Chain A
Amino acid sequence: MNEPVVLIRLDDNGRVYRPGETLSGEYRVESLPADEVKAIELSVLWYTEGKGNEDMAVHEFKRLARDDGDWIELQRPSRFSTILPASPLSYDGVILKINWCVRVRVFPRQGKEVLGELPFVLGDVHGAEAVPP
């Protein structure tokens, strides 16, 4: 049996998003029967990367859980949409990077969580280079 996999697609894939614009797309879970899924979480979030400890904040979060009486459909792609915030903008610094992504986390009844992630760029900030102090 194939390993379960999460596929995420953005409607304007590859485009740079501007603050206040709508980010929309869909996700689907393959190789996992719907009745074996306990819950699915969709997040639009940013996280830092680099030398410092990782910080993370969720802009949009949606959880579907069977225990809460939610209907989980895996046959068809599930759509999502959110208006992007004014900040923080994506940033490629020297010891700090800020990355935005759509993350889908699937909790099966048995076995390990399945994670799918699709990065996107918010804003048009130039990359930084180290300069002498």
Chain B
Amino acid sequence: MSRSFRVYQKKRGHRRTGSGKLGRVGEILFFATFLLFGCVGLVVILVALVIPEWRANHEFVETICTVRSKELGQTQGEDGTLYRPEIGIEYAIDGGPHFAKTYDMCGSYSSDRAANQAILAQFDVGRQYPCWYDPLDHDVVVLARGYTWWLWLTFVVPISFLLLGGGGLLYRTMRWGRSAEHLAATARSANSRDGVDSNGSSRNGFPNVPVGTELTNSPGTRLRFRLPISAAGTWVLIGALVACGFWNGIVSVFVVKLGRDFMAGRPQWWLMLFMVPFVVAGIGLIVFFVRQVLIATGIGPTLVEISDHPLRPGRTYRLFVSQAGRLRMNSLVVQLVCDEHVRYRQGTDTRTETRRVHRQEIHGRKDFAIRLGEPWAMECDFSVPPGGMHSFKSENNEVRWSLEVQGDVAGWPDFKRAFPVIVYPDDPTERALA
């Protein structure tokens, strides 16, 4: 035997080297167990709690009883003593006397002693009150009817199990015995029924090419469209703020404690030494955050306008770029770039990787100043390379085109602003006509 039989082996992304059939059986068993637990839990709650309360409200027969005793029943719970009202009553059915200690059908204990005593106070020993007994078992009797509100909360657990198990089982069963192509074809049919492309966008005649309507809904002042800036910079700023606040918030608790100890003459040198790398990392995050704030607020807005959109490989377009602010620029470069962006699983982590595959400088200028109220501006032609890949987007893989403005500012953090564009596939016939 050249290779030993392995039931379950190392996983690389979606690719497993173990037995696929065994894996599917395992998944079905997993979901079936959840479903079973859900069913059993639901039945137990119904039989033990819900049905008895419903019967007490609808089927029990009303009669008169005399209260003979009353006391606060006690039991020891995990968090202390629990209480319930226990009222001894005497009642007659068909002339035969019956005795019972009861209050309601649920008979549950609670930690609220005062509430239970208030219930007891409603009943006087020796007085008569209405009660309801079970016609099937005359010894089962209650002094109060109604439904217990928290009873409905208990349904959350078995119903969650039922949904998880049932949903998973249904999903797995529907996929059972179907090839990857069959499943993909079924998904495509469902998407086309919904008028949605397989990449989640509406149809534009180019499957898996983003439509990019959000890129053309803003008219330009010099050229046809003003392109929106990529939201990535904003997310970096928000991420930096959250990371900075979270990290330094935790570190500051320890630093304050160490500072107080130091001031009180009880310095904890080893702990202070241990905290040094954490404090350094916190300062690094603050520097990064401040740098992002400076880039976002200190450098004026960048405007990019384009003569047409979406773009096509091999065609030429007019471009207008303006940069506002009060800056001494070492250099400013406008370029057309294309990136491959992929997402993959590594163990239990999801990772992304981006690789630049095209960079074309459209305009570059060195050593100049931008004055406040007099934005720097330039207008020029640029071409998308013939034979270049079109924009592409699927679940885990993407080809992104964008116009980038990179600035090297004297005495200020460098900045890079991206303006996504969509490149449609080349059409030689259309190109000839154009």
Q: Which residues of A come within 8 Å of B, CB atoms?
A: 18-19, 41, 43, 45, 48, 50-58, 61, 63, 85-89, 91, 93-96, 98, 103, 105, 113, 123-126, 128-133
Report, nearest first, the 7 A-B pairs whose CB atoms are least far apart. Answer: A52-B342, A61-B185, A55-B394, A128-B357, A126-B387, A43-B181, A53-B396
- Judged by DSSP, the binding face of A is loop
Asked whether B13 is an interface residue with its Cβ less than 8 Å from the other chain, the reply is yes
Task: For B181, give its contact among A45, A51, A87, A94 (CB under 8 Å).
Answer: A45
Which of these binds chain A: B101-109, B200-208, B254-262?
Answer: B200-208
With A91-B389, A128-B389 as contacts: A53 and B399 at CB distance below 8 Å: no
Question: How far, in Å, is B176 (CB) from chain A's closest CB?
Answer: 13
Question: How far, in Å, is B198 (CB) from chain A's closest CB?
Answer: 5
Is B353 a contact of A48 with CB atoms below 8 Å?
no
Residues on A with C-beta less than 8 A from B427 are 19
CA distance A57 to B184 in the complex (A): 6
CA distance A3 to B392 in the complex (A): 39
Residues on B with C-beta less than 8 A from A133 are 356, 359
Residues on B with C-beta less than 8 A from A45 are 181, 184
Asked whether B212 is an interface residue with its Cβ less than 8 Å from the other chain, the reply is no
Interface set, chain B 1-46, CB cutoff 8 A to A: 13-15
CA distance A105 to B185 in the complex (A): 14
* B340: nearest chain-A partner, CB-CB: A96
Residues on A with C-beta less than 8 A from B15 are 54
Residues on B with C-beta less than 8 A from A98 are 392
With A50-B397, A57-B188, A105-B181 as contacts: A86 and B206 at CB distance below 8 Å: yes
With A86-B425, A131-B359 as contacts: A95 and B340 at CB distance below 8 Å: yes
Residues on A with C-beta less than 8 A from B137 are none
Residues on A with C-beta less than 8 A from B356 are 130-133
Residues on B with C-beta less than 8 A from A131 are 356-359
Asked whether B209 is an interface residue with its Cβ less than 8 Å from the other chain, the reply is yes
With A86-B425, A95-B353 as contacts: A55 and B390 at CB distance below 8 Å: no
Task: For A52, give its contact among B182, B344, B428 (CB under 8 Å).
Answer: B344
Question: How far, in Å, is A84 (CB) from chain B's closest CB?
Answer: 11
Residue count of chain B within 8 Å CB distance of chain A: 43
CA distance A86 to B351 in the complex (A): 30
Interface set, chain B 49-104, CB cutoff 8 A to A: none
CA distance A63 to B185 in the complex (A): 10
Asked whether B343 is an interface residue with its Cβ less than 8 Å from the other chain, the reply is yes
Please indicate which of the listed interface residues B13, B181, B353 has the most CB atoms of chain A within 10 Å of its own CB: B181
Task: For B425, give its contact among A103, A123, A129, A130 (CB under 8 Å).
Answer: A123
CA distance A113 to B353 in the complex (A): 35
With A94-B340, A129-B357 as contacts: A41 and B181 at CB distance below 8 Å: yes
Residues on B with C-beta less than 8 A from A50 are 340, 342, 397
CA distance A53 to B340 in the complex (A): 13
Is B184 a contact of A52 with CB atoms below 8 Å?
no
CA distance A52 to B12 in the complex (A): 11
* B12: nearest chain-A partner, CB-CB: A53
Is A41 a contact of B179 with CB atoms below 8 Å?
yes
Is B180 a contact of A93 with CB atoms below 8 Å?
no
Question: How far, in Å, is B18 (CB) from chain A's closest CB?
Answer: 16
Task: For B399, give its contact among A19, A57, A93 (CB under 8 Å).
Answer: A93
Residues on A with C-beta less than 8 A from B209 are 87-88
Is A43 a contact of B185 with CB atoms below 8 Å?
yes
Encoded as 1 (CB less than 8 Å from any A CB) or 0, chain B from 370 to 391 comes to: 0000000000000001011110
* B13: nearest chain-A partner, CB-CB: A53
Residues on B with C-beta less than 8 A from A52 are 342-344, 353, 396-397
17 contacts between A and B (CB under 8 A): A41-B181, A43-B181, A51-B353, A53-B13, A53-B344, A54-B396, A55-B394, A86-B206, A87-B209, A87-B425, A91-B392, A94-B340, A94-B355, A105-B179, A125-B389, A128-B389, A132-B356
Question: How far, in Å, is B383 (CB) from chain A's closest CB?
Answer: 14
Question: How far, in Å, is A53 (CB) from chain B's closest CB?
Answer: 4
CA distance A88 to B181 in the complex (A): 17
Encoded as 1 (CB less than 8 Å from any A CB) or 0, chain B from 396 to 434 comes to: 110100000000000000000000000001111000000
Asked whether B214 is an interface residue with its Cβ less than 8 Å from the other chain, the reply is no
With A96-B340, A96-B399 as contacts: A128 and B184 at CB distance below 8 Å: no
* B425: nearest chain-A partner, CB-CB: A87
Residues on A with C-beta less than 8 A from B182 are 41, 61, 63
CA distance A85 to B203 in the complex (A): 13
Question: How far, in Å, is B24 (CB) from chain A's closest CB?
Answer: 14
With A53-B14, A55-B397, A125-B388 as contacts: A85 and B207 at CB distance below 8 Å: yes
